[in-house]
Structure 1
Amino acid sequence: MKENRSLVVRELAKSLVKTQSLKFGVFKLTSGKMSSYYIDLRLVPSYPKVFKKIIGMYTNIIVNEIGLSNFDLLCGIPTSGLVFASAIAYSLEKPLIYIRKDVKAHGTQKNVEGALKPGDRVLLVDDLITTGSSLISSAEIVVGEGGVISDAVVLVDREEGGIENLSKSNIRVHYVAKVSELAKELYQNSIIGEEEYNAVLKQIEKG
């Protein structure tokens, strides 16, 4: 199992390099925090073979850690989470709903798009987790519409308290890889230097 996991981390690290999704500098995150690195997973769908491989990583986590019988539908978190959720839902033949980033001023004016019935068990899908604020706000909307949430799945855990914050709402977060694992893999293979590697570790320490 450890060997399989290390292979997945290696493949994901290579994918981030191929898609140029890992960037270093000064960035403001969705959570409002400043970061010395940025993982831009919106680039991934522009590389179909990599996208397909990453969707496979998501589905393996969902099947093996959560179980297909333990949720009724998937919910994509705006905006990049929806792209992954759509492909995962298609692959697993599961219904999909998604949260609107902005409520429409016309039509049904709904927060949630798709068929969500009271009591439906919903699996949240996002690209990564930092503080968990996006997942928490989305969970509140889904629960407000009658959905039941116990799990969420992301590709990358930035290790900045998000998983702990979600656990306070009784939501388990499943991830493909931690950012420290990805950074270590890239550093050991001389793809990033010591300065970049330490930048990731310092960001984690800052929390």
Structure 2
Amino acid sequence: MKSQERSELLAMLARESYFERELTLSSGRASSYYVDCKRTLYLPRGAYLAGELVLELVQAAGVEQIGGMAAGALPVTDAVMAAAHRNGLDVRGFFVRKETKQHGLQQMVEGAFKPGLKTAVIDDTITTGGSSLQAVDAMRVVGGNVVAAIALVERGEGAVEAFARAGLKYSWVFNAEEVRAERAAHPLAG
């Protein structure tokens, strides 16, 4: 992985996306910190860096399309799509709705999804893998050949084991401890 770009993105995540306070995660678990990757992914340089680095994981996984549950997967999927274009790679992107749309084509999986292609579920931050596995179920219902899971930030709270049980190869750019350590090493001026 490109070390200079990785270091720069880590610093951005620590500065823009890391918060210490008591809250409840989407998994239902309580936590004393939160990594809100969208705050970095919606900055031009953050989107560029995340796209390039996650694209390396997409290539290593040998998948042809990526997507995950809306809304967490949207900015990282979009960043990877832009990176794939810049690098001349043919990778498709899509997203999974929490429930089937009641109008239009009434689809649960939207975007450039194509049945049968090697697929990775993707998200910005993954804790237990619960919402990603819900997305995997939806992808498989419509013919997705889901073989991998990819995260920008892995929290280390059960996803590794959950994806292993589901038969998915799991990779990530950062673990949450790296982001926490970077923030501790460079606290924000108050």
**Shorter-chain TM-score category?**
0.7 to 0.9
Structure 1 116/13 Cα, relative in aligned 2: closer, same or farther at 3 Å? closer
Structure 1 142/46 Cα, relative in aligned 2: closer, same or farther at 3 Å? closer
The residue that corresponds to 1:62 in the other structure is: 58
Cα offset for 1:90?
3.1
Structure 1 116/47 Cα, relative in aligned 2: closer, same or farther at 3 Å? closer
The match for 2:72 among 76, 80, 85 is: 80
Residue 22 of structure 2 aligns to a residue whose secondary structure is strand
Structure 2 residue runs of 5 or longer lacking an equivalent are: 85-89
The match for 1:31 among 24, 27, 42 is: 27
Cα offset for 1:151?
0.7
What pairs up with 1:39-188 in 2 under 5 angstroms?
39-63=35-59, 65-66=60-61, 70-92=62-84, 93-187=90-184
Q: Which has the higher contact order (CA 8 A, sep 6+)?
A: 2
Which of 112-121 and 81-90 deviates more? 112-121
Structure 1 residue runs of 5 or longer lacking an equivalent are: 193-207
RMSD: 2.1
Residue 149 of structure 2 aligns to a residue whose secondary structure is strand
Residue 35 of structure 1 aligns to a residue whose secondary structure is strand
Which of 49-58 and 108-117 deviates more? 108-117
Output the TM-score relative to the length of structure 1.
0.79
Which of 139-148 and 87-96 deviates more? 87-96
The structure number with the bigger radius of gyration is 1
Residue 73 of structure 2 aligns to a residue whose secondary structure is helix
How many residues matched? 183
**Native 8 Å contact 1:124 1:135 kept in 2:** yes
Output the TM-score relative to the length of structure 2.
0.86
Q: Matches of 1:127 and 1:44 in 2, distance apart?
A: 10
Moved over 4 A (4+): none
Residue 108 of structure 1 aligns to a residue whose secondary structure is coil
Q: Matches of 1:17 and 1:118 in 2, distance apart?
A: 37
Q: Matches of 1:108 and 1:54 in 2, distance apart?
A: 31
Residue 10 of structure 2 aligns to a residue whose secondary structure is helix
Q: Which has the higher helix share?
A: 1
Q: Which has the higher strand share?
A: 2
Identity level (%)? 27
